[in-house]
Structure 1
Amino acid sequence: MENNRRSFIKKLGVAGATAAIIPSSFASETKPVNLLNRQTKFTGNKTLNIALIGAGGMGVADTTTALSHDNINLLAVCDLYDARLEESKQRWGNSLFVTKDYKEILKRSDIDAVIIGTPDFWHKKMSVDALNAGKHVYCEKPMVHSVEEGNEIIKAWKKSGKIYMVGSQGMSSLGNEKAKELLAAGAIGTLNYAEGFWARNSAFGAWQYPIPDDASTQTVDWEKYISISEDRPFDPLRFFRWRNYLDYGTGMAGDLFVHLFSSLHFITNSYGPNKIAATGGLRHWDDGREVPDVLLGMFDYPDTKQHPAFNLSLRCNFVDGTSGSTFLKLVGSKGSMDIAWDSLTLKRNAGGESDDPFLAEKAKEESGRPDRKKLVPPLETIYKAQNGYKGAHYDHFANFFTAIRENGSVAEDPVFGFRAAAPALLCNESYKKNEFIDWDPENMKLG
């Protein structure tokens, strides 16, 4: 750890190191800003043909990002609602092949990869079918609708030899890359606690998605939608606001906690927690939904080769005036990191003595009267993305396409994706049963 600490100081540079360690008036007024830049280079020019399965909000966003890359062609779109198919043609061209049967897409030999942006309960079946059909897969998080489905996808993926990327796109952010580097360098000392927070307040952000005026069994293939779920009469709420119902969605944990788990596990190299607890309630959005709009999670991470034992707390709130704020914080014995996708703030404990001779002497010179103590804030170093940064979503797809072209690997394969999804989904079990859940993160099974 000592070598890591000295390496970290060298990386900061003399000015940055002084500001990060010395409790002085200069340090309290100066917040060095460092530019984040990409460490991983993505290459490859082979043209890839893709198709979209599920043309709702996230599916459209994924496809738009995918098409912002060079040499990517969209050939087909599948959705169960007529208007989305028409909108897809308007958005991407009348020559687009559109269908309500995703298996028609999987039969096509000219399609290399599919994006799965459907409700969660279809993820496993479509993923396995696509892999068995020889397609590369980009599947939106949380990859599975229940923990029982995870190993089936992993098995199909390993058998197929294809690339499978889970869509927790923030994982590929510059902020996460810098956090991983700083943690390994000992910048915050020994990790002992982490927390994450996701807040929303708007109706759309709280899953009150608009219901089209023409929603009916004439425009929606309801029978196909529920064909792998419980038989119910047509309900536009369960189709267009599916996240509110456990038959189709995975609640706040599956939608948002999973992003935080993905980032945390990437930064720490963790397999996940071994004890899970959750509580919460329906505090505001009393619209018939089956899931809470305030959810709190607590998690124990065991001591492993990758990291020391630490605790994690997660909060999600759809009744919050901050309307969309999100963060991940890692706390250690010597400091903390506030991590966003395009920035990072490193805070070092103020007032601690340095064992670096130069810095220790510098601190004495600047202390003025040694008998006069000062109020000192945590000492900050700020990292921000360089101008022109295209974002984590863009880089996540870059990783996916490069892996396909070069027969490489991705940052969020099904094993990683399942280890992020499982503790999130088990929050729902803990909330429902009002009890702790034991989980074996290495072997990916209930304890």
Structure 2
Amino acid sequence: MDLDISYPRLDSFPLLLGKAAMKSNQATLPPTRRDVLKSMLAASTAPLVVPASLFGETAPSNQITLGCIGVGIHGYGWNLAAFLKEPDCRVVAVCDVSREKRERAQTGVNEAYGTTDCKAIADFRDLLARPDIDAVVISTPDHWHVPLSLLALAARKHVFCEKPTLTIAEGRELTKAVDQHDRVFATGLEDRSVMHYHRLAEVVRNGGIGQLQQIRVGLPVKPVFPEENPVPVPEGFDYEMWLGPAPYRPYTPTLTEAQVWRQVRDFSGGSLTDWGAHLIDTAQVANFSENTTPVAVSGKGTIPPNAINSVPQTYELHYTYQNGVTMEVGSSQPSIRFEGSDGWIGNQGWRGELKASDPKLLQRTYDSATNKLWPQPASEHRNFLDSIKTRQPPTYTAEALHRLSTVMHMGSIAMEVGRPLKWDPTSESFDDPAANALRSRPRRKTDILP
């Protein structure tokens, strides 16, 4: 996969590495987004390198205080690192079910600020109860995204949460809560602020390839993980809290690693909902569908036997939108291609080089007064902070997250019932009782979530 490591948003995160380590790391960065973050965390014993000048320009009374829930690979190496660079916010608490991770994050934040003020909290409820926290950053496994967001909104916190939702019903539950509590909710999905994908959507929305007809999306094939025998929960790790709303299952050695739990239906939806959240979002935006969904879906997938994996590893999906545009989504490698009446445009690999039937499409500029796509935001993190201050909707709203996640859940449900389905975006229902039953699933009741 082609990863453009010269892109400014990656270069702007030397936070978790000493300068020498960062220089060395740039020459050997692995090819995936998650592996890049893993390599950064491997060097997390180095101090967070943040210029002290960043923190002296905004009065404390004007700073947005943040609590970060989930400080693993993405929560620490991407989200926390990004917010530490913003002078008008202050991370005052970090929370994780892993003592090692939360203490590492606490140390990193304190070193970045040159203080000892950041608190390491084991139970997210203690973090949400703090009146001095304005907003929370949720970077947990997928099954916690909506439940934690609901609790944070009820606690009157603004919310920055990673994608996706776990079910269709959860997404609508989230949008209603955002409206009810009048707090800012922003999704942690960087694609709308990544030049490559913003540019693709911009060209298509402005008619660069004529009338859009078909979208082709490729998503990576993830590994098969063998079944494991239960083992004792490691000291310093709250497994019951990690499970939270998910059905109980014994702890096994690799289950709580991101690459593994993402392949388990109780916690996630595999590469379809992980990588799909990135590339299918660009498809949704380019088709003017960011606040709606397709109206039909069909497909098939294969779940590996005798494995931890319980979601399809390989799949082929076909979607149809109300405007007649079709979208093919298949397991292969990250890619997206838009085909229209007058040509095509797309790329292969994460942030891969843009290509088009006519290279002039890539240089075309659009008048801001008539451009059919919003301006490219600096980053999803900056956009969230600006939205809190202005109370203007963020670039990536709860409604957009819900609609995007619904597209992916539609595909999963079609594969599970094994037949083509029609979908009504208004009533948010299928033409099939068995499929409708899969729009939601019960949450486990515990003392954490009664």
Secondary structure of 1:122 counterpart: helix
CA distance in 2, matches of 1:70, 1:192: 44
Q: Give the aligned partner of residue 133 of structure 2.
A: 111
Residue identity in the other structure for 1:299 = Y
Q: Give the aligned partner of residue 405 of structure 1.
A: 389
The answer to whether residue 283 in structure 2 is matched with residue 264 in structure 1 is yes
CA-CA distance at 1:267 after TM superposition = 2.2
Q: Give the aligned partner of residue 433 of structure 1.
A: 417
CA distance in 2, matches of 1:188, 1:246: 38
User: Deviation above 4 Å: which 4+ runs of structure 1?
Assistant: 339-343
Residue identity in the other structure for 1:225 = W
Is the Cα contact below 8 Å between 1:76 and 1:96 reproduced in 2? yes
Is the Cα contact below 8 Å between 2:345 and 2:356 reproduced in 1? yes
CA-CA distance at 1:265 after TM superposition = 1.6
CA-CA distance at 1:148 after TM superposition = 1.5
Aligned equivalent of 1:296, options 316, 328, 349:
316
Matches within 5 A, 1:205-224: 206=223, 216-224=233-241
Residue identity in the other structure for 1:58 = H
CA distance in 2, matches of 1:440, 1:266: 19
Q: Give the aligned partner of residue 310 of structure 1.
A: 325
Structure having greater relative contact order (Cα 8 Å, sep ≥ 6): 1
Is the Cα contact below 8 Å between 1:345 and 1:380 reproduced in 2? no
CA offsets, 1:217-244, max 9 Å, x none?
5321122223422223333433223212
CA distance in 2, matches of 1:104, 1:438: 44
Q: Give the aligned partner of residue 347 of structure 1.
A: 357
Is the Cα contact below 8 Å between 1:170 and 1:393 reproduced in 2? no
Q: Give the aligned partner of residue 191 of structure 2.
A: 170
State the aligned residue count: 346
Residue identity in the other structure for 2:325 = F
Is the Cα contact below 8 Å between 2:186 and 2:394 reproduced in 1? yes
The answer to whether residue 294 in structure 2 is matched with residue 273 in structure 1 is yes
Is the Cα contact below 8 Å between 2:298 and 2:421 reproduced in 1? yes
CA distance in 2, matches of 1:220, 1:275: 43
Is the Cα contact below 8 Å between 1:150 and 1:418 reproduced in 2? yes
CA distance in 2, matches of 1:125, 1:289: 24
Gaps of 5+ in 2: 1-56, 111-115, 365-375, 432-450
RMSD between aligned alpha carbons? 2.8
CA distance in 2, matches of 1:382, 1:296: 30
CA distance in 1, matches of 2:244, 2:275: 27
Change (3 A) 1:302 1:172: same
CA-CA distance at 1:301 after TM superposition = 0.9
Aligned equivalent of 2:340, options 332, 349, 371:
332
Residue identity in the other structure for 1:398 = R
Change (3 A) 1:433 1:184: closer
CA-CA distance at 1:273 after TM superposition = 0.7
Residue identity in the other structure for 1:83 = E
Aligned equivalent of 1:185, options 206, 217, 220:
206
Aligned equivalent of 2:242, options 186, 203, 225:
225
Change (3 A) 1:232 1:199: closer
CA offsets, 1:343-380, max 9 Å, x none?
633324xxxxxxxxxxxxxxxxxxxxxxxxxxxxxx55
Change (3 A) 1:245 1:121: same
Residue identity in the other structure for 2:138 = I
Is the Cα contact below 8 Å between 1:198 and 1:315 reproduced in 2? yes
Aligned equivalent of 1:140, options 137, 141, 162:
162
Change (3 A) 1:394 1:216: farther
Is the Cα contact below 8 Å between 2:205 and 2:288 reproduced in 1? no
Change (3 A) 1:409 1:216: same
CA-CA distance at 1:446 after TM superposition = 3.4
CA-CA distance at 1:170 after TM superposition = 0.8
Change (3 A) 1:293 1:286: farther
Larger C-alpha radius of gyration, 1 or 2?
1
CA distance in 2, matches of 1:170, 1:207: 27
CA-CA distance at 1:248 after TM superposition = 1.2
CA-CA distance at 1:154 after TM superposition = 0.8
Change (3 A) 1:343 1:404: farther
Residue identity in the other structure for 1:328 = I
Is the Cα contact below 8 Å between 1:207 and 1:243 reproduced in 2? no
Is the Cα contact below 8 Å between 1:344 and 1:383 reproduced in 2? no
CA offsets, 1:324-357, max 9 Å, x none?
x522211100011115758633324xxxxxxxxx
The answer to whether residue 84 in structure 2 is matched with residue 67 in structure 1 is yes
CA distance in 2, matches of 1:229, 1:167: 22
Gaps of 5+ in 1: 1-43, 304-308, 318-324, 349-378, 385-391
CA-CA distance at 1:89 after TM superposition = 2.3
Matches within 5 A, 1:10-29: none
The answer to whether residue 181 in structure 2 is matched with residue 160 in structure 1 is yes
Change (3 A) 1:191 1:131: same
CA distance in 1, matches of 2:357, 2:73: 37
CA-CA distance at 1:383 after TM superposition = 4.9
CA offsets, 1:245-297, max 9 Å, x none?
111112221111122221122222212211122323256x9642212322222
CA offsets, 1:83-141, max 9 Å, x none?
11121123222532112211111111211111111111111110111111111111111
CA distance in 2, matches of 1:55, 1:393: 24
Please identify, of 169-178 and 247-256, the stretch whose mean Cα deviation from structure 2 is larger.
169-178
Is the Cα contact below 8 Å between 1:277 and 1:435 reproduced in 2? yes
Change (3 A) 1:278 1:51: farther
CA offsets, 1:63-100, max 9 Å, x none?
11222223221111111111111211232225321122
